[in-house]
A and B are shown apart, each in its own frame.
Chain A
Amino acid sequence: MAVEILKENYAGKVLSMTIGVGDRAVTVGGATALPFHSFEGEVGNRPLIAYEVLDTVPEDPPASLQEELESVWDDPVKWAKYCQDEQGARAIALRLVSTDPDGQDASPESAAETVKKVLDAIDIPLVILGCFKEAKDGPVLKAAADAARGCNCLIGKAQEENYKTIAAAATANGHKLIAFSNLDFNLAKQINILLSQADFDINNIVTDPTASALGYGLEYTYSVIERIRAAGLMQNDAMMQPPMFLDLSSVVWKVKEVKASEEDLPEWGDRTERAVHWEAATATSLLMAGAEIMVMTSPRAIQTVEKTIDQLMA
């Protein structure tokens, strides 16, 4: 008997967006169906993984990352070039942790310097992340946006408390914006509405619904993303159609499962493989839900996910 495949009729689509300039600019989004459902619609552009680069040596990093990145992480320019030239990165995510007021409290000007240096060294798109403290991110991202003028970067994260400053800086310098909300379907919509009311073009936004790591709230992020996708695709809700951005690095690398040694927990198996798997499995789960851009750290985990995406787009 012939099976009649049940195809979903999608009323909406995921918006597409380009970051970076020149030959190596990258376009994401554009799907007209649920993730990788090529049997019933366009899958759109390949999801993008941006390699995380910190502007200072990481504090208390897991041993497995140390093995992979220690030789480059003393200098953000070296680190970024390594990801681009040796690892084949398609984008870099520069995190300006040095600006954290509870840490080094570096000035917006010094952060802008770093942004310039990194941009000079690479020709792939750059994501610029602040330290994620609302008050400080405003001035820092403004300075960074000025310094990166014309490079079509993706900057953020803009939150309810600081979105006006950051959105204005993005518009003035031709950048795209990460709209962050706290793991809640309605808040994810709310921030897009606020930005739209402030005349920020919805086509220049990516939605960050809050990442969570495998074992640490993954299911909440998973379901929020699925619901956002359903609203954008099935109900054609225009405020729920930007590409989805997930900052995995900020949540994966502090959990016990990537840190604990084999001596302490022999039943958890090889520490390095475990850490790579943790980041890759978190990413793969979120790809199933609808992630378009992910910030990740371990080159091996990224390559694992890239190969998985190859298969998903085969």
Chain B
Amino acid sequence: MALTGIEIFKHLPKTNCKDCGFPTCLAFAMKLAAKQASLEDCPHASDEAKDFLGAASAPPVRKVVVGAGDAAWTLGEETVLFRHEKKFVNPSAYAIQVADEDPELAAKVAAIAAFKVDRVGEDYGVNLIALQDASGDAGTFSAAVKTVVEAAPKLGLVLATRKVDLVEAGLAACEGKNPLVYGADADNIDALLPLVKGKASLVVSASDLNVLSDLAEKATGAGVEDLILDPMPANAREALERLTQIRRLAIKKNYKPFGYPLWMSAVHEDPQIEGTLATIGTMKYASVILLSELRAWEMLGLLTGRLNIYTDPQKPMQVEQKVYEVGNVNGESPLIVTTNFALTYFIVAGEIENSKVATRLAVQDVEGLSVLTAWAAGKFTASKIAEFIKESGVASNLTRKEVILPGYVSVLSGTLEEKLGGDWKVVVGPREANQLPQFLKTCAQG
């Protein structure tokens, strides 16, 4: 909840002593409201003022970190309901279920930990292992916790049990790992709170929002603040409604008991439905999404959707303008031109790698737009491409002055050849980058 300068002013000393560097307390308050100054700059602010302003400037959804060290994953800190208002902050974590008595536990967990996909130049994978208490036995559970920690040192851990003795045994087996305990309900919360305090974050769950709110307050009352809320929806409608209701109250009303990241189980017997349920969670406020098993095709889709929805609506991801060299290029290597939209660059560079034909990739700055968008916006024109190619000096490295144009902008080829002048030749490439390997191989042969 943003405060106005006047609201902040009420809590300042009102002495106008100027120690903050501003002429008056009011002027300072205005700067604070605009987030251009920090309260620390006023040496005379009271503790009451610090508490008040600290609480008011804290995001309406608390930051909760699950895991420690390399395995840490930050959740929460969201400030808006719709991504066109402002960037969503901390991407959802995907948690995969495994059973403590599974004879292949170690191998399964290692496979989950090893899974990764490359999207837009970065590796993404699963975030959490959710260890289920299928055995119901504390010894088995704590041994399984050790197995998981060893097999997946870089993933966070969910101790998925409601049994108090298992939580205790599990926590003892992963000291310092800051796991997430799933979880507390009306029956076990009193016993769990002292166990998790300072050691783990806690999921509180209840299908009734009144009960959920009470449980959250009870936890904070006991000093356990790292909470995640699960409103336990039975279907997609309930999931969407409850996640929306909770998040809306947190953001619009600063309703404290709901100011926490949210949990949603997408587990479903039909893997495809599990995929759409997890998609709903990703789009609609779930911070931890539980999946029944690792399926590469599903993770690829979910991670991609998450990447889409957690991007800044104001500025597209971009790469630097220059002539990139993919592979060991020489004078004969083909030269390709494209735009500096990160997605475009990584798709095209990836396909060049697939082709195994060393290639020069001239990436033009068009403020991060895709090929067609940049063309339609007048930023990827024949004269601009020609100017860039000439200034890059790439010609001196080539035995043949030839440049390959994306198929979608084939209309530019004639004018580009003119603008480049001299003995330049423009070749029109295929439209989709996935046809590039075939195309480059034929180029290389011809």
Contact = CB atoms under 8 A, between A and B. Distances in A.
Given A38-B237, A273-B271, A308-B273, A6 B434 contact: no
Given A3-B249, A288-B283, A314 B270 contact: no
A6 B245 contact: yes
Q: Which of B82, B83, B236 has the most chain A CB atoms closer than 10 A to its own CB?
A: B236
B305 A257 contact: no
B297 A269 contact: yes
Contact of B308 (A6, A215, A274, A276): A215
Interface in B384-439: 432-434
Interface string B302-335: 1011011101010000000000000000000000
Given A215-B304, A267-B296, A288-B283, A222 B276 contact: no
Contacts of B434: 256, 259-260
Contacts of A222: 83, 283, 308-309
A77 to B, nearest CB: 29
Contacts of B347: 256
Interface residues of B, number: 61
A37 B244 contact: yes
Interface in A163-181: none
Where chain A touches its partner, the secondary structure class is: helix
B296 A284 contact: no
A136 interface: no
B20 interface: no
A38 B311 CA distance: 29
A230 B284 CA distance: 16
Contact of A284 (B257, B276, B308): B276
Interface string A189-224: 000000000000000000000000011111100110
Interface in B53-95: 82-84
Interface stretch (A66-74, A93-101, A119-127, A299-307): A299-307
A274 B284 CA distance: 22
Contacts of B311: 219
Interface string B204-233: 000001101110010000000000000000
14 contacts: A1-B217, A182-B376, A214-B308, A215-B305, A215-B343, A219-B83, A257-B301, A268-B300, A270-B295, A270-B296, A285-B279, A304-B273, A312-B240, A313-B237
Interface of A: 1-3, 5-6, 36-39, 182, 214-219, 222-223, 226-227, 230, 254, 256-257, 259-260, 264, 267-271, 273-274, 276-278, 280-281, 284-285, 288-289, 300-301, 304-305, 307-308, 311-314
